[in-house]
């Protein structure tokens, strides 16, 4: 959960946009500030912070936090940043049973089967992100 205030019990990074600051939860094993900031710059490039229909940045920030974690988990395992097309979905083919039932069982999606669209983004290389910033700032 992203927060307006830092939670000392979680590994978080402050993420500023404009005059606002939020704290994104990140993987416990990631502490290298350069890696974290480089990952945030990739997310900033791909998914700039937006304001929702009700005037809040919450849903945009949660999506950005999720993509930041995908990048950091990948970096943690492969020691490099991912690049290329990525799709993220809430549920694809399987979904959890009704909350009142056992939560460890999954079932086929009954309505629309597995045709729920995901959100596709293209992750550029860190070099592409930095080059874009150089062009913008001349």
Mind listing the pLDDT tens digit for each residue in 28-46? Answer: 999 999 999 999 999 999 9
Residue 5 covered by a domain: no
Residue 46 covered by a domain: yes
- Among candidates 44, 27, 47, which has minimal Cα distance to 88? 47
Per-residue confidence band for 78, with pLDDT thresholds at 50, 70 and 90: very high
What's the rounded Cα separation, in Å, for the pair 10 and 20? 20
Quote the radius of gyration of the chain (alpha carbons, Å): 17
What is residue 4's predicted lDDT score, i.e. its pLDDT? Answer: 77
**Total structural domains within the chain:** 1
Residue 107 covered by a domain: yes
Residue 2 covered by a domain: no
Element (H, E) at 134: helix 126-137
Residue 32 covered by a domain: yes
What's the rounded Cα separation, in Å, for the pair 21 and 24? 10
The one-character DSSP state at 19 is T
- Which carries the bigger pLDDT value, residue 115 or residue 82? 82
- Domain with 41, as residue range(s), is 12-137
Contact 56, 46 (CB under 8 A): no
Residue 4 covered by a domain: no
């Amino acid at each position: 959960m992203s927060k307006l205030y830092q939670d000392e019990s979680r590994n978080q990074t402050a993420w500023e946009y404009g005059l606002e600051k939020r704290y994104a939860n990140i993987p416990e094993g990631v502490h290298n500030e350069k890696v974290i900031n480089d990952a945030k710059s990739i997310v900033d490039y791909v998914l700039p912070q937006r304001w929702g229909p009700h005037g809040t940045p919450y849903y945009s920030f949660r999506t950005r936090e999720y993509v930041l974690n995908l990048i950091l988990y990948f970096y943690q395992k492969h020691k490099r940043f991912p690049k290329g097309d990525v799709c993220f979905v809430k549920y694809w083919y399987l979904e959890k049973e009704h909350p009142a039932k056992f939560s460890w069982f999954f079932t086929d999606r009954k309505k629309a089967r597995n045709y729920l669209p995901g959100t596709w983004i293209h992750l550029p290389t860190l070099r592409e992100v930095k080059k874009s910033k150089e062009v913008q700032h001349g």
